[in-house]
Amino acid sequence: MSIQSRKHTQQVLVGNVKVGGGAPIVVQSMTNTDTADVTASVQQIIELSTAGSEIVRVTVNTEEAAKALPEIVNLLAQKGFSVPIVGDFHFNGHKLLEKYPDCAQALSKYRINPGNVGKGKARDPQFQQMIELACRYDKPVRIGVNGGSLDQLVLTRLLDENRQLANPSNLRAVTREAIIQSALESATKAQELGLAKNKITLSCKISNVQELINIYEDLSSRCDYALHLGLTEAGMGSKGMVASAAALGVLMQQGIGDTIRISLTPELGGSRTQEVIVAQEILQTMGFRSFTPMVIACPGCGRTTSDYFRLYVNRSG
């Protein structure tokens, strides 16, 4: 099966990095440091960027983290690193962006999860406030739906509608539709509030490989927003690598996906940069990007008579 051409999507500019619109599939990652710890966060961002992460996301969940962001970005610039920094916001993002304008300006993009931006009557005005702030500071937004924190209002509405059908769908199918509709409805609302279409990226992450593939195939057929791919809670070690490669490989083979993250749980003492290396290896193995020379090597068997190549790789690696 040949690689299909990339499906047309809007091109979103994140800092100086082009996502979508035919640009090469972008590798991104996320820190696991306390963002308020400026020294540790800068160091890890540098490590991720050096490893090949073209966009780095950080958690912005406290006032201390929001205060630290401008200093982090300034220190990175002083050290010669211009990697775009994305702020990952949850329940209090609207307050942090409003109270700390330097943070809002320093970030290259905001990530909003519709499922936890607010609850009840507070949900819509808080989402609106974040979108208005993105418009004010001319920042793109990733509307990132997560199966583990799905908007319960959307799910409840679809379950109620499903019960009225002569042939209702099963819960899994309704949940898939709720994930997709949460993303699309939020994107439509963001545009109504003034955010341009080429400022929006969508993601719909869950931890089940087959379900993830089904969701993105459906989502891709229903919109032309730039799409971020990732298998959430992929796991640790080879399990997480194989699951991510299986899910994202199928989607990218169909031309779906503009930027990817491999959400690996680092092993004890392991480096966060492993997720970057795995993302690059998936893209290069599939022929989408080229990062390092490709080495073809015999896997070894009873006919193997030389250890030269393995010894050479161990010494050079």
Tell me the C-alpha distance between 22 and 10, whole Å: 9
Whether residue 312 is predicted with pLDDT greater than 60 in this model: the reply is no
Backbone angles phi, psi at 284, to 5 degrees: -70, -40
Whether residue 30 is predicted with pLDDT greater than 70 in this model: the reply is yes
Whether residue 62 is predicted with pLDDT greater than 80 in this model: the reply is yes
List all residues 6 or more positions away from 260 whose beta carbon is below 8 Å from its beta carbon: 25, 26, 27, 28, 228, 229, 230, 248, 252, 279, 282, 283
What is the per-residue pLDDT for 235? 75
- For 317, the 3-state DSSP assignment is coil
Whether residue 303 is predicted with pLDDT greater than 80 in this model: the reply is no
| CA distances to 143, 184, 215, 286 from 176, in Å | 16, 13, 6, 27
Q: Are the C-beta atoms of residues 181 and 240 closer than 8 Å to each other?
A: no
Which amino acid is residue 183, in one-letter code? A
Whether residue 120 is predicted with pLDDT greater than 80 in this model: the reply is no
How would you class 66 by CB atoms within 10 Å of its CB: exposed for 0-12, middle for 13-18, buried for 19 or more? buried
Please choose, from the candidates 117, 165, 177, the residue with its C-alpha nearest in 3D space to the C-alpha of residue 141.
117
Classify the C-alpha dihedral 300-301-307-308 as positive or negative. Answer: negative
- For all residues of the chain together, what is the average pLDDT? 92
Q: pTM of the predicted model, to two decimals?
A: 0.92
What is the per-residue pLDDT for 1? 42
| Listed range (19-23, 160-164, 235-239) with the worst mean pLDDT | 235-239
